[in-house]
């Protein structure tokens, strides 16, 4: 069952819960209905790099979303990752190409030990790189994060030593939830195709 943080409207999904993908999909669909409209271009911006296991959630998810052939643009895949060096340019390119886009920003994150393996979903901007003290632009109208390891000292080392199995599991659950949300929201898909 999803847990909701009251202060920020952040929803937490335990990836070990067998119903997590459906619960995630239902909340995701609800947030899309509340904050977006079918007339806005829905964009998935999957942030991260394939050079650090703990930071490859975004590119892995981007790959999975492209394989689903959804009628929405996906930025950030294993072949063409969006990371600290090209994030600003990618955001500018999206804003030039699409009029008033609705961006769903995805990134890996660090959290408390009891939240490792959880997915967060909420309305508002994502602050990429915050867990490793990088100053990157905030982006998105909705955000999705996968908590891949614990905050603490030597965050870069933590990202390098994160288990790939966990990251792949989170990417699979998120992609299934997104697919479920969009497949059961026919009006949105028809207007964006």
Q: How far is CA 47 from CA 30, 60, 62, 81, 193, in A?
A: 23, 10, 9, 7, 24
DSSP secondary structure, 62-117, as one string:
HHHHHHTT-SS-EE--SSS-B-TTTHHHHHHHHHHHSSS-EEEEEEEEEE-GGGTT
Per-residue pLDDT in tens (0 to 9) along the chain, 193 residues: 566 554 568 999 999 999 999 999 999 999 999 999 888 999 999 999 998 888 999 999 999 999 999 899 999 999 999 999 999 999 999 999 999 999 999 999 998 999 999 999 999 999 887 666 678 899 999 999 999 988 876 666 667 778 899 999 999 999 999 999 998 765 444 444 4
Assign domain 3-192 one CATH number from 3.40.50.1450, 3.40.50.300, 3.40.50.720, 3.40.50.2300: 3.40.50.1450
Q: What is the pTM of this model?
A: 0.89
The conformation of residue 130, written as its DSSP 8-state character, comes to: G
Instruction: State the pLDDT at residue 129.
Output: 76
Sequence spans of domains, the chain: 3-192
**Strand, coil or helix: 150:** strand
Give pLDDT tens digits for 67-100.
999 899 999 999 999 999 999 999 999 999 999 9
């Amino acid at each position: 069952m999803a847990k909701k943080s009251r202060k920020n409207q952040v929803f937490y999904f335990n990836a070990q819960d067998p119903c997590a993908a459906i619960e995630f999909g239902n909340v995701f669909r609800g947030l899309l209905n509340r904050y977006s409209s079918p007339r806005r271009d829905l964009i998935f911006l999957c942030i991260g790099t394939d050079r650090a296991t703990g930071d490859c959630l975004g590119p892995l998810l981007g790959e999975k979303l492209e394989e689903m052939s959804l009628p929405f643009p996906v930025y950030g895949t294993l072949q063409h990752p969006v990371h600290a060096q090209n994030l600003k340019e990618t955001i500018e390119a999206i804003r030039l190409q699409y009029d008033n886009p609705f961006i769903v920003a995805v990134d890996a994150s660090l959290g408390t030990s009891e939240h490792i393996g959880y997915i967060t979903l909420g309305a508002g901007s994502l602050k990429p790189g915050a867990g490793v003290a990088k100053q990157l632009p905030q982006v998105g109208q909705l955000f999705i994060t996968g908590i891949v390891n614990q905050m603490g000292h030597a965050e870069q080392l933590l990202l390098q030593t994160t288990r790939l199995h966990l990251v792949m599991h989170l990417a699979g659950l998120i992609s299934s939830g997104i697919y479920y949300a969009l497949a059961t929201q026919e009006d949105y898909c028809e207007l964006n195709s």
